Amino acid sequence: MSKNQLQQLFSDPKKIFLFLLLALGAGLVLLPLAIVFLTSVTVYDVDTRGFWSLTWKNYQEAWQRGNFLLAFFNSTLVALAVTAFQIITSTLAGYALARLKFRGREAILLLILGTLVIPFQILVIPIFLVLKWGSLINTYWALILPTAANGFGIFLMRQYFSSVPVELEESAAIDGANRLQIIWHLMLPLSRPALITLFLFTFIGEWNDLFKPLVFANVPKLKTVQLALADFQEQFTNNWPLLMAAVIIATVPVIVLFAIGQRQFIQGIGTTGIKS
């Protein structure tokens, strides 16, 4: 922030109040994160008669104890695979609902929106039986296929495609482009903010998912980040510094990913509701 901007900011009492209010809100949001970080670098030292000392050994111990190298690989593989499937299915279905004229289109859209109010836990028994019938339990496919398509992603892409002028597609069709070429060369580049928004929503959701790995994969080789974190929680006591170190290790990739795509994320959220 430049000197002139600071002078303009503090010259208006309303702007000063708004600045202080926003600073207070930011402080309230960052306070729990600061507590988690301070706890993660703290250890109780008996030799100093109970005083707390700072150390980075908690991260090293948490990394080794949680086997986070394997957990990161599994979570990244599952999250990227689910995200890729959802981008493909949401793009094709969203485009069809936004542009193609066919009987029952609105009913299909309402049916898709209706799936958003159904918790995944209600469907776990039939999904488990289907996966067991296909011999997919305790495989990567058991963690990928149940969420390969999502009603939110279809609605998100449908809304964004609806905001793109039809004249652009008509011009491409006049030049000889077919439907798939229009989607690939025209609609996908224009829908980059929506695609990044869908990517972030899906990837972060899969990264933080504990339910699917807990139900569909009970072998050590398929341990995900959330299962690794669950291993740090004991029945009667918890090593809080170690647990907080593990929490930060599991959270850093998501924070970095969101920081990289936050501008496109905000743009995608702001433009997907322009046209119904």
Highest mean pLDDT out of 75-79, 188-192, 194-198, 228-232 = 75-79
The band of 234, judged by pLDDT with boundaries at 50, 70 and 90, is low
Structure tokens at 37: 């970080």
For every residue of 166-191, DSSP letters joined together read HHHHHHHHHTT--HHHHIIIIIHHHT
Q: Is the pLDDT of residue 210 over 80?
A: yes
Q: Supply the pLDDT for residue 56.
A: 83
C-alpha distance from residue 126 to each of 107, 130, 160, 265 (Å): 24, 6, 33, 34
**Could you tell me which residue, 153 or 240, shows the higher pLDDT?**
153
C-alpha span between 34 and 243 (Å, rounded): 15
Instruction: Confirm if 105 and 93 have CB atoms less than 8 A apart.
Output: no
Structure tokens at 205: 């959701």
Lowest mean per-residue pLDDT among 34-43, 62-71, 82-91, 262-271:
262-271
The band of 276, judged by pLDDT with boundaries at 50, 70 and 90, is very low
Coil, strand or helix at 66: coil
Residues, the chain = 276
Mean of the per-residue pLDDT values of the chain: 85
Taking only the tens place, the pLDDT of each residue in 59-89 is: 988 899 889 999 999 999 999 999 999 999 9
50: left (phi over 0), alpha (psi -120 to 50) or beta: left
CA 194, distance to chain mean position in Å, is: 14
C-alpha distance from residue 67 to each of 35, 144, 246 (Å): 25, 22, 10
Domains and CATH numbers, the chain: 3-58 (no CATH), 65-271 (1.10.3720.10)
